[in-house]
Structure 1
C-alpha cells in the first residue's frame, strides 16, 4: 500500500510539473503571436499614414470634394480595411494571451499553495529545491514566490 501512495505521489508531481510547463509554453507562444500581430498593426497603420501624406497635396488639387476623392481611392480603402482587420485580430490575440497568462498564474499559485501536499514526504521535500531550480533555469518558471 505504501508503494502505491509513492507511485501516486510521483505521478502527481510529474503531472503538476508537466501542466505548469505546458501552461508556460502556451503563454510564451501567445506572447510571441501578440508581438507579431502588433507589428502587423503598426505596419498597416504606417502604410496608411505614409500613403495619405504622400497624396495629401494631390487630393487638394483635384476638382471636386476632397472627401469624395479620398473615399473613391482604392488604396485608401484597401489600407483602411487592412488596418481594421489587423486591429481586430490584435484584440482577439490579446484576449487569448490574457487567458493563457491567467491560466499560468493560477496554476503557479496553486502549485505554490499546495507545495506541502504535492511534496508531502521528507524525501520529496528535499528534492523540491532541485526541481524548482531546474524549472527556473530550463523553463523560466519561478515557484519560489507568487
Structure 2
C-alpha cells in the first residue's frame, strides 16, 4: 500500500484505504498504457514516414515512367517486404495498445466514480465527513486523481 494512503489512519477505515489504493493502481495502469500507446503511435508515424521516403527514393523516382516497372522493382526488393511488415505490425500494436488504454481508462474512471458516489458511506461520521477534503487533496496532489467531481 502507498505510504501516503497508509498515513490516513484516523481519517479513513481499512476498506476506504483499500479502495483508494485500487484507484491509484488503476491510474498507474492507465498512465502506463497511455505512454505505451503514445510511443507506439509516434514510432508508427516515424517508420511510415521513413518507409514512404525510401519508396520514393528507390522505386517511384527512378521508375516513374511505368507502373509495371515500379511494381516489379517493388516486388523484387526484399527490403520493401520487411519495411511493410514492420509498419503494419507497429500499426497493429498501436491499435492493441489503444484498446488496452481505453479499457484501463474505463476501469479507472468507474472506480473513481464509485468512490465519489459512496463518499457519504465511506465517511459516515461527521468529523470524518468534515476532514474528507484532506484525503481528496492528498489524492489530487500525490496521484493526480480528482475525487471532487465525476467529470474528468
Q: TM-score range by the shorter chain?
A: 0.7 to 0.9
2:149 pairs with 1:142: no
User: 2:32 aligned to 26, 29, 37, which one?
Assistant: 29
1:3 equivalent in structure 2:
none
1:100 equivalent in structure 2:
104
The residue correspondences of 1:5-16 to structure 2 (distance < 5 A) are: 10-16=13-19
Between the aligned partners of 1:134 and 1:44, the Cα distance in structure 2 is 42
Between the aligned partners of 1:71 and 1:25, the Cα distance in structure 2 is 45
| Root mean square deviation of aligned Cα | 1.9
Query: Which structure carries more helix by proportion?
Result: 1
Q: How many residues align?
A: 139
**Structure 1 ranges of 4+ moved more than 3 A:** none
Structure 1 unmatched ranges of 5 or more: 1-6
The residue correspondences of 1:75-94 to structure 2 (distance < 5 A) are: 75-94=79-98
User: 2:116 aligned to 112, 119, 127, which one?
Assistant: 112
User: 2:53 aligned to 28, 50, 53, which one?
Assistant: 50
2:128 pairs with 1:124: yes
Deviates more, 1:95-104 or 1:52-61: 52-61
Structure 2 unmatched ranges of 5 or more: 1-9
TM-score, normalization by structure 1: 0.88
Between the aligned partners of 2:76 and 2:90, the Cα distance in structure 1 is 22
CA contact (8 A) 1:59 1:70 kept: no
Between the aligned partners of 2:71 and 2:119, the Cα distance in structure 1 is 65
2:45 pairs with 1:38: no
Per-residue deviation, residues 103-124 of structure 1 (Å, max 9, x unmatched): 0110011111110011111122
